[in-house]
């Protein structure tokens, strides 16, 4: 705290940065070697201050795989937090990402944002041979809610075997 009894803005920013970096480790994310992002390792304060306070696409996907969240909804909530703290650089970053994902996010509720990102993902999903694309699945299941990420065929088969063995016990 400073002399007036308030928390220094830079101290708060650094503390949040360390906390989010360490929380990333709790979810199994190691130091990043792909991009300059929140999960890069640092050896001194100047290096730490140069790193951004957001995840790269690789580490964001790792976190999403672990927590099963919608990226647009997460960005919308993070945008509200960084605006409250007055962190302009991060506000700009999350605003840009949200606009790229859902267009005019200010008119969307989190549920609408989730629907838009699911539609965008299914329209741009690349597939491997012998795998169904999310767009094909969405077309066949118009009345069902489509998950943005589906397990691979091998994972689905293991789940079926596990369920069969549990049922036989």
pLDDT, one tens digit for every residue, the chain (169 residues): 455 555 688 999 999 999 999 999 999 999 999 999 999 999 999 999 999 999 999 999 999 999 999 999 999 999 999 999 999 999 999 999 999 988 876 665 555 555 555 555 554 444 444 444 444 444 444 444 433 344 567 667 777 887 887 787 6
Note whether 75 and 62 are same-domain residues: no
Domain extent, residue 12, equals 1-68
Provide the pLDDT for residue 101: 87
Note whether 76 and 120 are same-domain residues: yes
- Residue 164 in any domain: the answer is no
Note whether 54 and 10 are same-domain residues: yes
Using CA atoms, how far apart are residues 5 and 3, in angstroms rounded to an integer? Answer: 5
Note whether 59 and 89 are same-domain residues: no
Note whether 27 and 90 are same-domain residues: no
**Residue where one domain finishes, among candidates 124, 140, 157:** 124
Note whether 34 and 88 are same-domain residues: no
Tokens of 126: 């690349």
Using CA atoms, how far apart are residues 95 and 76, in angstroms rounded to an integer? Answer: 8
If one counts the domains in the chain, the total is 2
Provide the pLDDT for residue 115: 54
Residue ranges of alpha helices (H) inside the chain are: 9-26, 45-50, 57-67, 71-85, 88-102, 110-124, 134-140, 153-168
Provide the pLDDT for residue 23: 95
Which domain CATH number covers 8? 3.40.390.10
Provide the pLDDT for residue 137: 44
Provide the pLDDT for residue 164: 84
Provide the pLDDT for residue 7: 67
Provide the pLDDT for residue 108: 57
CB atoms within 10 A of CB 97: 20
Provide the pLDDT for residue 125: 44
Using CA atoms, how far apart are residues 78 and 71, in angstroms rounded to an integer? Answer: 10
Note whether 91 and 112 are same-domain residues: yes
Note whether 51 and 20 are same-domain residues: yes
């Amino acid at each position: 705290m400073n002399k007036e009894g308030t928390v220094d803005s830079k101290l708060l920013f650094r503390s949040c940065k360390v906390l989010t970096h360490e929380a990333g480790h709790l979810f199994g994310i190691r130091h990043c070697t792909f991009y300059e992002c929140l999960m890069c390792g640092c050896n001194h304060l100047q290096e730490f201050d140069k790193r951004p306070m957001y995840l790269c696409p690789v580490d964001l996907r790792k976190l999403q795989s672990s927590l099963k969240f919608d990226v647009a909804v997460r960005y919308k909530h993070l945008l509200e937090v960084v605006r409250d703290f007055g962190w302009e650089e991060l506000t700009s970053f999350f605003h840009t990402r949200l606009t790229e994902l859902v267009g005019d996010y200010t008119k969307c509720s989190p549920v609408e944002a989730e629907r838009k990102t699911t539609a965008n993902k299914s329209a741009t999903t690349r597939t491997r041979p012998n795998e169904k694309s999310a767009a094909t699945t969405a077309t066949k299941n118009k009345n069902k809610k489509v998950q943005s990420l589906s397990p691979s065929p091998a994972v689905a088969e293991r789940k079926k075997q596990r369920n069969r063995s549990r049922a036989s016990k």
